[in-house]
Every structure is written in C-alpha cells, then in structure tokens.
Amino acid sequence: MAVLVVKLGTSTLVDPAGELRHEVLDARVRDLVRARRQGHHPVLVSSGAIACGLGRLGIRRRPSALGDLQAASAVGQGVLFQRYAEAFAPHGVVPAQVLLTSSDLASRSTYLNARTTLQRLLELGTVPVINENDTTATDELTFGDNDVLAAQVALLLGARWLLLLTDREGLYTTGADGPELLGDVPAGTAPDQIPLADMAGSGSGRGGIASKIASASMATGGGVTTVIASGTADGVVPAVASGHHVGTRFGPAPRPEAAFKLWLRHAKPVLGRVVVDGGAARALRERGTSLLAVGVLAAEGAFLAGDAVEVVAQGDGSVVGKGISSMPAAEVRMVAGLKTEAVRERVPGAAPQVIHRDQFVLADPRHADGGRSGHGLMEAS
Ligand code: GLU
C-alpha cells in the first residue's frame, strides 16, 4: 500500500478572521477518506494552529514575537485537531495527532522511532495528522515551514506521493497570453531552471512558492512524486492517488538516494566545517572515496564524533558535501594532513578515516539550502 502525504496550508484552512473554513476542512477529510478506501495510506500535514489560536484568543493582528506565536499555536492546535476528529468520525476513521520538531528527526534514533510510530499508526488504520510542535521549536531548530516538514515526512515513510495543496492550481509559467499552468517538472530540474511567471500580487507570496519548490526537490530526490495543486478544488487527492495528472507534477528521481543518505542530507544538522585540499575534493567528487586525514587542511567548529559537518574545498571554497565525522573537531585538527600511519601514532585508536564514504553525501545544487529558507512560525503559508 502506498503512502500519500498531503499538506494543507494555513491560508487554505483558516480565514483572515482566524476562523476555520469548515467546508474546506470537511471536503479535504472526505478526499483523504476516499484515498484510503482506494487502498492508500493517507497522512495529513496540517498547518493552521497559530492562525486558529489567534482567532480563539481574539488577537486580530498576527504578533511578531515568537512567544506569542508559540502560545497561539498551543491554543489552536487543540482546536484544529478536535475539528479533524469530528470531521473523520462520520466516516468511521480515527485520526492520530503527531507533533514533531526538527530535532526529533535530527537524531537517528528519534528519527527511526518517529518512523516506527507513524508506520504503526497506518497499520492500525488511523490517519496521522501532523504539525510542527511549534511550542518547543526554536529559531535554530525549526523545519522552516510545513512544506519542508511534509517533504521530510514523505521521505521518512518512503511515500509514493507528496501533495502540497495551496491556494493556487499549481505553478505558473509565462505563456503567449499570460501565465499558464506548468504541468510537469521533469526529474532533476534545478529549482532555478523552472520558468516561473512573475506572480507578484497574486496573493500568494513567492516565498511560499520557493519553499514548495525546495520541498518538491527534496522529496523527488528520494523518489517521491510531488504535486502542487489546489487545496480548495474537490477530488484532487483521490485523483492523484489514481494516477491522474492534476496541478504541477514533479517527476521522482529515477535512482533515489538510500534512506540513510536522505536523512543525512536533509534532517541531520551541520555542526562544523572541514576544509580539504584539491586532491581530496576530487577524490570525494569523482571517485566516491572516504575522506582521509591526509587531505584535511582545517576543521572549524566544536563538533563531536558522530556530528555532521560540511566539507569545503580550499581554493574556491565550494561545498563538496556533508558527512558524519568519525572524530571530534579537536582530533581532526590534530591529524590534519597526516598519512594513516602517522595518524595512528599521533592518536592511537583513531578511526581510519575522518568521514567514511557510507556516511557522506555530495552537495547537490538542487539541495543547496536544504529548503531551510524562511521561518515557519513567522509566515502563514
Ligand atoms: N505550524 C504552523 C501552524 O500550524 C504553520 C507552519 C507553516 O504553515 O509552515 O500554524
């Protein structure tokens, strides 16, 4: 059975006065139930907690202080989930609330634990309703927004589809007579190669679109077909699940990265930098080798063994990739430039390489900022 991750944004679900759009929520729940009857496993990523909480608290203007937004989310999340439970009940379906922070996915053990729980919830026949746990997310540790969270969940579950539902039919390109819906984005298209029409003033900020494209790029890299489509049109979810073409579809990578490497690329935070010489940069890029101490010039930051670091080429300063260091920063500095034997003499018991090839991913321009632009708590998308 295929997993289908559907993301619903705040502007689709909540009106400007902070009231839930009940008819939209009920209609999307009906769609999810239909997809489930088709034999799929729908998972919902729903925003709207902050806007809903502000409405409940009678706060008309969106505050800018993080604490206020977090408090509003705590109020709104309960209201939102209760409403989902009511909407699923007549269909005999039980929803399950799951609140995640990016730190839950940053550590391999909690990442795997989240996966096990979600899989169990699907086996039990529930529909997980996921949101970021806004009350504990911090500026440094946030998904960026729920498009990124939805892409992370799609990768975590090895989903077949990711549907980013929004207030537009999809992405638009410039046609002879004005903006035209862009039907297909082939696998491997870099985000900046997508010929977007200038939609300024359309009511949907470019920031939101950039984040959707970055999320689509993340998910397709893991083999997840991603669709950007309307959150208010009926039947989009079951149509996509039946293989019909709706909105803008991003083709999945033909050879997706393995689950561990996807986690390393997208979920594990970078805690330092290792600068390498030209020879090491070439060996990593062209031959897929491990990084040995002899090619290391410097280590920056206070990372520990097991932390992820960015590997940077000396000279042009380009990012070669990201890997898990098998040594703490101080030890990397001690062994930098040494051949393997000298490393052993200097640090008995040191790992045979600074980064093992199985724990390294090459930088890919499509994943340049990992979709971490913007701050989800500050935007309503
Ligand atoms: N977690 C936020 C909320 O529920 C939304 C974040 C987003 O929309 O990206 O209000």
Reported as a single tens digit per residue, the pLDDT across 183-234 is: 999 998 988 888 888 655 444 333 488 889 999 999 999 999 999 999 999 9
To the nearest whole percent, how much of the chain has pLDDT over 70? 92
**Residue 46 alpha carbon to ligand 1 centre in Å:** 8
Ligand 1 shell residues, CB under 6 Å: 9-10, 47-51, 73, 131-132, 134, 145-146, 376, 381
Structural contact between residues 355 and 325, judged by C-beta atoms closer than 8 angstroms: yes
Compute, in angstroms, the gap from residue 375 CA to the centroid of ligand 1.
Answer: 10
Ligand 1 atom at minimum distance from 380 CA: 8
Percent of the chain at pLDDT > 90 equals 81
Please state the atom number of ligand 1 nearest to the C-alpha of residue 381. 8
Q: Looking at residues 158-178, what average pLDDT do you find?
A: 92
134 touches 144 (CB < 8 A)? no
Q: Best of 44, 215, 377, 378 to mutate for ligand 1, by most ligand atoms within 8 A of CB?
A: 377
- Across the chain, mean pLDDT equals 90
Distance (angstroms) between ligand 1 centre and the Cα of 47 equals 4
Atom of ligand 1 nearest to the CA of 53: 10
Q: Whose CA is nearest to atom 5 of ligand 1?
A: 47
pLDDT of residue 9: 94
Report pLDDT digits (tens) over 124-154. 999 999 999 998 877 666 787 899 999 999 9
Ligand 1: which of 44, 146, 149, 379 to mutate, judged by most atoms within 8 Å of the beta carbon? Answer: 146
How much distance in Å is there from the Cα of 18 to the middle of ligand 1?
13
Report the pLDDT averaged over residues 291-299.
Answer: 98
Question: Residue 369: pLDDT above 70?
Answer: no
Domain ranges of the chain: 3-256, 269-380
**Check: CATH 3.40.1160.10 for 3-256?**
yes
**374 pLDDT more than 60:** no
Looking from the CA of residue 52, the nearest atom of ligand 1 is 10
Ligand 1 atom having least distance to the Cα of 145: 9
In ligand 1, which atom is closest to the CA atom of 134?
A: 1
Cα of 376 vs centre of ligand 1, distance in Å, is 6
> 9 alpha carbon to ligand 1 midpoint, in Å?
7
3-state secondary structure string, the chain?
Answer: CCEEEEEECHHHHECCCCCECHHHHHHHHHHHHHHHHCCCEEEEEECCHHHHHHHHCCCCCCCCCHHHHHHHHHHHHHHHHHHHHHHHHHHCCCEEEEEECHHHHHCHHHHHHHHHHHHHHHHCCCEEEEEECCCCCCCCCCCCCHHHHHHHHHHHCCCCEEEEEECCCCCEEEECCEEEECCEECCCCCHHHCCCCCCCCCCCCHHHHHHHHHHHHHHHHCCCEEEEEECCCCCHHHHHHCCCCCCEEECCCCCCCCHHHHHHHHCCCEEEEEEECHHHHHHHHHHCCCECHHHEEEEECCCCCCCEEEEEECCCCCEEEEEEECCCHHHHHHHCCCCHHHHHHHCCCCCCCCEEEEEEEECCHHHCCCCCCCCHHHCCC
Residue 351, both tokens: 């790992």
Ligand 1 centroid – CA 48 distance (Å): 6
Residue 370's pLDDT is 36
Helices 146-156, 108-123: axis angle to 10 degrees equals: 80
State in Å: Cα 69 to ligand 1 middle. Answer: 10
Query: Ligand 1 pocket test: which of 8, 73, 101, 164 has the largest number of ligand atoms within 8 Å of its C-beta?
Result: 73
Q: How far apart are CA 183 and CA 199, in angstroms?
A: 17
Quote the ligand 1 centre to 7 CA distance (angstroms): 11
- What is the 29 CA–ligand 1 centroid distance (Å)? 18
Q: Which residues pair with 291 in a beta bridge?
A: 355
Residue with the bigger pLDDT between 57 and 175: it is 57
pLDDT of 168 higher than 70: yes
Confidence of residue 283 (pLDDT cuts 50, 70, 90): very high
Residue 77 Cα: closest atom of ligand 1: 4
**What atom in ligand 1 is closest to the CA of residue 132?**
1
Banded pLDDT at 364 (limits 50, 70, 90): low
Please tell me which residue, 300 or 203, carries the higher pLDDT value: 300
Tens digits of residue pLDDT in 31-56? 999 999 999 999 999 999 999 999 99
pLDDT at residue 204, rounded to an integer: 35
Could you confirm whether domain 269-380 is CATH 3.30.70.370? no
Distance in angstroms (rounded) separating the CA atoms of residues 266 and 306: 16
Query: Higher confidence at residue 376 or residue 21?
Result: 21
